[in-house]
Amino acid sequence: MEKLHIAYPVIVEGKYDRLRLLSVMEGQILTTDGFGIFKSKEKTALLRALAAKTPLIVLTDPDGAGTLIRSHIGAAVPRERVIPLYVPRVAGKEKRKKEPSAAGVLGVEGQERGVLYDLLAPFAVDAPPPKDAGLTKADLFADGLSGTAGCAARRDRLAASFGLPPGMTPNALLAALNVVATKEEYRAAADKL
């Protein structure tokens, strides 16, 4: 498998995530040092400066910590400058660890190379532009995925059908769906709810 050349900076949580990505891509990979990003004004300032020049790909683990870190980055840089990518939520533990994570799922470092390759391939320098489903907040509202009773549970079911983590806000789900799905795929999944 030839490495992908990714023009956008990719933001991951830790050094082992970075090492895993280096096995499938060439390009700038920055780490948040886990929760260290909450204390590092310099790292947050760096992300803001980068986002002013180029979109940032954010790829965090599919657990609570990853969600908090992703939210922090989303609050620090303009939403339209973030390309949210999500690894599938797969039960297991990373090889280097004695115990599974608190969520019991594999993080970025534990994902198969093919999964990471497929996630990043649309953003390779010589790849066609990534698809955008053209979904809006109005679509989510019309399908009962925001602003209605039980919408969080429906969002979780829809997210699971696309391999996305549970607990996503409407904005996070919308951004992810516009990257991972076509409008037809979204419509088919929403109709099953």
Same domain for 117 and 31, yes or no, is yes
pTM comes to 0.76
pLDDT, averaged across the chain: 90
Q: What would the pLDDT profile of 146-186 be if each residue is shown by its tens digit?
A: 999 999 999 999 988 887 778 888 987 887 788 778 899 99
The CATH number that applies at residue 35 is: 3.40.1360.10
Same domain for 17 and 102, yes or no, is yes
Helix/strand number for the chain, H first, E second: 8, 6
Same domain for 42 and 93, yes or no, is yes
Q: What would the pLDDT profile of 64-80 be if each residue is shown by its tens digit?
A: 999 999 999 999 999 89
Q: Report the alpha-carbon distance of residue 154 to residue 191 in Å, rounded.
A: 11
Same domain for 100 and 146, yes or no, is no
Q: Which residue has the tokens 């760096």?
A: 46
Same domain for 185 and 151, yes or no, is yes
Q: Report the alpha-carbon distance of residue 145 to residue 141 in Å, rounded.
A: 6
Last residue of a domain, one of 123, 148, 178: 123
Same domain for 23 and 107, yes or no, is yes
Total number of domains constituting the chain: 2
Give the confidence band of 128 by pLDDT, cuts at 50, 70, 90: low
Range from 7-11, 104-108, 131-135, 138-142 carrying the lowest mean pLDDT: 131-135
Q: Report the alpha-carbon distance of residue 111 to residue 97 in Å, rounded.
A: 14
Give the confidence band of 116 by pLDDT, cuts at 50, 70, 90: very high
Q: What would the pLDDT profile of 21-63 be if each residue is shown by its tens digit?
A: 999 999 999 999 999 999 988 888 888 888 888 899 999 999 9
Same domain for 29 and 102, yes or no, is yes
Note down the domain range covering 111. Answer: 4-123
**Could you tell me the end-to-end alpha-carbon distance of the chain, in angstroms, rounded to an integer?**
38
What does the pLDDT read at residue 130? 63
Same domain for 102 and 170, yes or no, is no
* Alpha carbon 113 to its chain's center: 16
Same domain for 25 and 107, yes or no, is yes
Same domain for 153 and 106, yes or no, is no
Q: Is residue 180 part of a domain?
A: yes
Same domain for 163 and 114, yes or no, is no
Give the confidence band of 129 by pLDDT, cuts at 50, 70, 90: low
Same domain for 103 and 180, yes or no, is no
Q: Is residue 128 part of a domain?
A: no
